[in-house]
Amino acid sequence: MTASLVGAAGGPWAFQAHPEVWVLVIGVVGSYIYAARRIGPVAVGAGEVAVSRRQWTYFVCGALILWLASDWPLHDLAEEYLYAAHMLQHMMLSYFMPPLMLMATPEWLARLLTGDGRAYRVVRWLSHPVVAGVAFNGTIMITHIPGVVNESAGNPLIHYSLHVLLVTTALMMWMAICGPIPEFRVGPGGQMIVLFCSSIVPTVPAGWLTFAEGTVYHHYTNAVRVFGLSVESDQQMAGAIMKIGGSIFLWTLVLTIYIRKMASRFYDEARVPRPKIVGEQVLRDQARAQLTYDDVQAAFERSQPAPEPAP
């Protein structure tokens, strides 16, 4: 708390220590490494890879985004000075970090965490596209209500609770898209619908921020204007980040899923089945299937002309 007060008094770029963030990130990284090194080899059996190189890459990127979004300087700018930084922070915690963490999670680890009893049924219900979509988009709307934003900015408990709710509902939504448990995921068509709906709902608060007259969030009427941005310009930039940045990201995913689906269908339709027999037998069968000049000549010689009628 002392470091936070000193940082705030020293200006927007003064360093502020956040030990709780460091503990969180170290705990997440340590747990993943322990699971991959100790539990994974036992869970998958001898000779199998517990965590692939691609999953390690996803995890490193996800953990890095979690740290950057939650620590100085982005967290402090988002909490005290710029609502645009607050919007960028929320996008990192809801759009970028959750899918990376889910793709980094091996199936054996996900099933170990959920089990096959009540926890599994609860997670599956929460991951249903309708339930997850309503919860995630509802959270997006709630976290942009002026009263909620102004209150949470001055109350650490409410602030962190909203972040936990945002990340949890984002994980629920992304579970149907790229979750580690196959039966929780929906098909390509369902994935595109979920992403489409998730790109439409946020345009409501984004458009409101972009065209709002006057100050929407009074907490950010700080005398110190970072980058020289006025309160109105800060609000408009936040709306642009949410509307343009979020929509471009989600629509890029929709387009990618559609192209992959069409490419897979085209490949399946154009694929010609190959003969299972190989070697000399295939050559003999192909030779018999070919029609040569000698075959045509022999056929003409075998055919006898029709007898001429008697005069």
pLDDT score recorded for residue 6: 39
Rounded Cα distance, 212 and 234, in Å: 11
pLDDT score recorded for residue 303: 61
Rounded Cα distance, 237 and 39, in Å: 46
pLDDT score recorded for residue 260: 87
| SS3 category, 47 | coil
Residue extents of the structural domains in the chain: 2-270
The pTM score is 0.80
Rounded Cα distance, 166 and 233, in Å: 25
Q: Tell which residue, 203, 305, 241, has the closest CA to residue 84.
A: 241
pLDDT score recorded for residue 7: 45
Residue pLDDT, tens place only, 246-266: 888 999 999 999 998 888 776
pLDDT score recorded for residue 164: 94
Residues of the chain with pLDDT under 50: 1-8, 277
Q: Which residues contact 145 (CB under 8 A, 6 or more apart)?
A: none
84 burial class (0-12, 13-18, 19+ CB within 10 angstroms)?
buried
Rounded Cα distance, 76 and 251, in Å: 30
Residue 136 backbone phi and psi in degrees, to 5:
-70, -50
| Amino acid type, 241 | I
Rounded Cα distance, 143 and 161, in Å: 11
Residue pLDDT, tens place only, 5-34: 334 456 788 889 999 999 999 999 999 999
Whether 58 and 100 have beta carbons less than 8 Å apart is answered as: yes
Rounded Cα distance, 89 and 294, in Å: 79
Rounded Cα distance, 174 and 93, in Å: 12
